[in-house]
Structure 1
Amino acid sequence: MTETENPEPLNTPERPCDFCISSTIEWIIPAAPFEVAPANMSPGDWVACGSCGELIHAGKWGSLAPRATKLWPRGESDFAEAAQAVRRLGAALSEHMTGEPRRVER
């Protein structure tokens, strides 16, 4: 989401971390819109919790999938499949970032 749109408030169950589903948002990842799956567009900026945001900020994309998927409810999807999906999304997001990740101002 872009800063001007801001359709959902941060730190609510309706707007969890885009990676691990944590409800505590601490980072905004500025990004241009891109296709995340056929007929499914990312509208722009992503949000991240403190831990996921730190990994992204440090460029540790390889550590993001294990971090993110360990918090997902078991039984929701196959772990290996989920980790691969996070890796694909991370790679796509890193190519479409429009600036450095920044901490949410409170």
Structure 2
Amino acid sequence: MSGPIICKVCNLALDGFTNEDGVTYLHTLSDAMDGKDINHEPVPIQAPPGWRGHCDFCTAGVPKFVVPARDFTTPGSPMGFSTGDWAACETCALLVAAGRWDSLVKRAAKHFERRMHFPMPSKSRSAVRRLYYKLAANITGPIRPLDGEEGK
């Protein structure tokens, strides 16, 4: 499967991992922390055209932009991977375009604290920073509006 993979049951994005059986898709940690109803086995399907999840950076904003990227293995998780483009809200898209990766980490940590009511642990902040810098090395072109977002 290429492009966003979502759960057929709950319509939420899934994270992909490789193991001895091939690829496994699981609900995201951020959806679990947000208290979303993910108490079921994920049923991975290709996201339909026009599907919108949440911002892949801050997890709070509504995606309006695409950050084109190659597939890559996630740092610190050799079994995890990122497939294809990332979705970004307007603020995160501006930060990516400006190469302000540390500001993106701060924004993600701020939204984490708002959701969880405690600060993002420093180990998690470091992991997010490594992930964003790995993404930066795999961006393949300019940020562009999501289909249907031109002129809005």
TM-score normalised to structure 2 length: 0.58
State which drifts further: 73-82 or 57-66. Answer: 73-82
CA deviations 1:21-59 (Å, max 9, x no partner) are 124001111000000121111111111111111100111
Return the offset for 1:75.
5.8
Aligned to 1:16: 54
Which consecutive aligned stretches of 4+ in structure 1 deviate over 6 angstroms post-superposition? none
Gaps of 5+ in 1: none
Identity of aligned residues (%): 33
- Cα distance in 2 for partners of 1:42, 1:77 equals 25
State which drifts further: 18-27 or 39-48. Answer: 18-27
**Distance verdict in 2 for CA 1:53–1:80, change over 3 Å:** same
Higher relative contact order (CA 8 A, sep 6+): 1
Q: Does the residue aligned with 1:84 lie in a helix, a strand or coil?
A: helix
Gaps of 5+ in 2: 5-45
Aligned to 1:40: 80
Aligned to 1:95: 137
Aligned to 2:21: none
The residue correspondences of 1:1-106 to structure 2 (distance < 5 A) are: 2=3, 7=47, 9-10=51-52, 15-36=53-74, 37-72=77-112, 73-74=115-116, 78-106=120-148
- Cα distance in 2 for partners of 1:47, 1:89 equals 15
| Bigger proportion of residues as helix | 1
- Cα distance in 1 for partners of 2:90, 2:127 equals 21
